[in-house]
Structure 1
Amino acid sequence: MGIGLFFTGLSMVISGVVERVRRRKAIEQGFLNDPQALVDMSAMWLVPQYVAGGFAEAFNAIGQIEFYYSEFPRTMSSVASSLFGLGMAVANVLASAVLSTVDRYTKGEGKESWVSSNINKGRYENYYWLLSILSCVNLICFIICSWAYGPCADDVKREDDIEGNELEEISQLRPRTPLRVMPA
């Protein structure tokens, strides 16, 4: 999950850089007041941020599901998968709240909002920088919480087994047999 959170922050940093370049090119090409104009810029600029976002989603989603299934009893597996969906829903509500708050506090007397409907007058790169800062804070909170949570019960059991030399005693009771390869 931590790797996924790192890639989320990286994706937001890349998005901020790409948006800054896009906006600068739009203004240089005279499109400040024309949000519908096509800027002379390749769509390939979007690939790195989407790749980072894909890695973030893959690592985070798989990590969360694995965490829920490993920590909940087997009889509560449906609750574990429901928690993942609930977490996604809460995240979407929080994303809407952050967007509304940014819009409310960044527009003022005669100023365009960071998330203006005119993409060339807005400052979306600042919005992406804010999201990358929030992602870093989220990663730090995750690291603190995972450190406080401690190791999994299986990890503690394995450490006890190794320290108590129980693994050696078990391996001595079972004779090792060589693997036999069957002819094709």
Structure 2
Amino acid sequence: MNRYVTSWFEIPAASFTIFMVLTLTIWIAFYDCILVPFIAKYTHEPRGFHPKTRMGIGLVISTGGMMVSAIVETKRRDFAGSNTTTVMSAMWLVPQYALLGLAEALNSIGQIEFYYSELPKGMSSIAIAMFLVSNAISGLFGSLLIKVVDTITTKGGNISWLSSDINKGHLDYYYWLLCFLNLLNFFYYLVCYHVHRSSSS
């Protein structure tokens, strides 16, 4: 993909995650300084949206981010397989990184605030530990998922979805799988949300 922003500046491939970090940073400032005072008038919640609501919105946006990733990757493969000499712009990757950054800002921060609100003040370190443990487990699960997908999709001599040659593999299928898993996770969250609300009332 064409990573040139101008005729002389090319964004390094590994640096595209900066768009996720920028979105996260900008959203936090925008939410705390502008949205919270406005939303609080209607929700009567000092933090704007309740942490559980933010977590749910973050999961929905994360699912959308995977959907956008799959669509862009499909377009990229079609572009690479065509006879045109034009190279697709890498700026098409920015929306998915922005969505994932927004999802992270909503879900992760909402999750931390939820732990702090549910646990006694003296257990604040437990809240952070729980959050870090959940991130570590998700990292292990992600590695396991990659291994399973690679093993299953190479059966019968087929090319892996996650082939090092992305034009021969099907990274778009993998994104759709992640989209489906994100959707399942959201429905699981809704069950947990309902159980917690029932037990709190």
Q: TM-score range by the shorter chain?
A: 0.7 to 0.9
The C-alpha deviation readout for 1:92-127, integer Å capped at 9, x for no partner, is 000111111000001123310110111100001000
Cα distance in 1 between the residues matched to 2:137 and 2:162: 22
Amino acid across the alignment from 1:114? W
Amino acid across the alignment from 2:69? S
Q: What pairs with 1:1-184 in structure 2 (closer than 5 Å)?
A: 1-29=55-83, 40-150=87-197
How far apart are residue 152 of structure 1 and its match? 8.6
Runs of 4+ in 1 over 2 A off after TM superposition: none
Give the TM-score normalised by structure 2.
0.70
Counterpart of 2:143 in 1: which secondary structure?
helix
Amino acid across the alignment from 1:126? Y
Q: Is the 8 A contact 1:26 1:39 kept in 2?
A: no
How far apart are residue 28 of structure 1 and its match? 1.2
Structure 1: gaps of 5 or more residues: 31-37, 157-184
Give the TM-score normalised by structure 1.
0.76
Aligned to 1:34: none
How far apart are residue 39 of structure 1 and its match? 6.9
Structure 2: gaps of 5 or more residues: 1-54
Q: RMSD of the alignment, in Å?
A: 1.7
Equivalenced residues, count: 147
User: If each structure's helix is expressed as a fraction of its own residues, which one has the higher value?
Assistant: 2
How far apart are residue 22 of structure 1 and its match? 0.4
